Structure 1
């Protein structure tokens, strides 16, 4: 088995019913993982699962409500059950990314963003990483954003939540790395998905600021996630990998 192969491993991908999550689920399955497709929309989730199975991969849908600690813990338990008693790879991809002036952000939206972007990954890692550590191996990949690295008007709430996730990535690497669990993050730049279609020209304008000059395809971000999840990244721990077309490098 090559270093990129994931045969025999169980991977839980949150927010896997569309966009980057769906592309990641498909790629991990293509490389041999049994993928647990987690999301709120069963119809879309089952469609992702069917696509993976049609290509000869192994996948199951797991319903996920990430808005409370209790529901996140329930997801972790159901994932372990569906995975035959374990989860080897966790991809914390689910999240929300509202934009807008700080003074116009609804009060409940502040809580929602932090519940989904920070608390849900925290509770999933708390539920799943100790068992990975007990087995002596595991990989966790957090999906962040390039705007966690620099200030962008209108993105204070979203960017700050992902900046917290970046710090959690490093802290978890220090905590679980000595016991064989690698924790890393990917910072996507503008990516053309079902969710960003409504951004229209704003997405292209944001992408034009980077050397690549274009939005990413979800599959390009999935490749970075799959690398960090694989043994090819065996000596990579606590890294926050930009996949932003070079935006944070200039």
Structure 2
């Protein structure tokens, strides 16, 4: 298939947290559909490896390093660096997140609270504020926020992470109303458990629920990435402010 036949040909995407896990799958899926992808994360070696994989498959990608836990200046530098690397940004996927193992509320330290909110809430807010107006100026674009089923349905031990993702879902609706009339669609994907190395650490915590899911299994990173591709493509041209669950039926149990 030639680039002109793919759904995202000519578009330029930034995927935060795309040096591992779900972010890699999203970056590769967008590149496979013709987008120029800016891979981002803290580790240049891992980022360069993702870029090499994309290029070896016939795609186009570049790496821009960023530590989104370092505050607003880091987010703004990433926005500027991504625009420079790709010649502009039409697609933003706010994927980077810090996970916190299930922890009783009283045992969460103030520093952990600041660290998790810094990456999971402040960074996507600042990045969207930096890039969505540029999309408006250039005729439109799409933002997809990676939320979580825990943002729709909290559980014991997940108060911090659930609150983070509930904020992401709320951002999604607010930004859809703010930017949608100006040509920038904003939506979210709310995964349930995903088969990544990082989430394998939570296997014992989620096992009782998995046994009750309609699908009886976790999602693959590629299944979640496919939902992202759909939401940024013209196939979803009139979808604004939705939170699309990819959870094997978790929300239904």
TM bucket by the smaller chain? over 0.9
Alignment partner, residue 229 of structure 2: 226
Separation of aligned partners in 1, 2:208 and 2:54: 34
- The one of 195, 198, 211 equivalent to 2:198 is 195
Task: Kindly state the Cα deviation for residue 208 of structure 1 after the two structures are TM-superposed.
Answer: 2.6
Structure 1 runs of 4+ aligned residues shifted over 4 Å read none
Cα RMSD of the aligned pairs, angstroms, is: 1.2
Q: How does 1:158-197 map to 2 (within 5 A)?
A: 158-197=161-200
- Per-residue CA deviation, residues 161-190 of structure 1 (Å, 9 max, x unaligned), is 110110010000000000000000000000
- The one of 118, 131, 136 equivalent to 2:134 is 131
Separation of aligned partners in 2, 1:209 and 1:225: 26
Alignment partner, residue 33 of structure 2: 31
Task: Kindly state the Cα deviation for residue 217 of structure 1 after the two structures are TM-superposed.
Answer: 0.8
Task: Kindly state the Cα deviation for residue 209 of structure 1 after the two structures are TM-superposed.
Answer: 3.3
Task: Kindly state the Cα deviation for residue 234 of structure 1 after the two structures are TM-superposed.
Answer: 0.3
- The one of 109, 114, 118 equivalent to 2:117 is 114
User: Which 5+ residue runs of structure 1 have no aligned equivalent?
Assistant: none
User: Which 5+ residue runs of structure 2 have no aligned equivalent?
Assistant: none
Task: Kindly state the Cα deviation for residue 151 of structure 1 after the two structures are TM-superposed.
Answer: 2.3
Task: Kindly state the Cα deviation for residue 106 of structure 1 after the two structures are TM-superposed.
Answer: 1.4
Separation of aligned partners in 2, 1:244 and 1:221: 9
Separation of aligned partners in 2, 1:73 and 1:126: 9
Q: How does 1:5-20 map to 2 (within 5 A)?
A: 5-20=7-22
Separation of aligned partners in 1, 2:221 and 2:211: 17
Alignment partner, residue 244 of structure 2: 241
Task: Kindly state the Cα deviation for residue 137 of structure 1 after the two structures are TM-superposed.
Answer: 1.1
Q: Does the 8 Å contact 1:133/1:180 carry over to 2?
A: yes
Residue aligned with 2:112, SS: helix
Alignment partner, residue 55 of structure 2: 53
Q: Does the 8 Å contact 1:18/1:194 carry over to 2?
A: no
Alignment partner, residue 43 of structure 1: 45
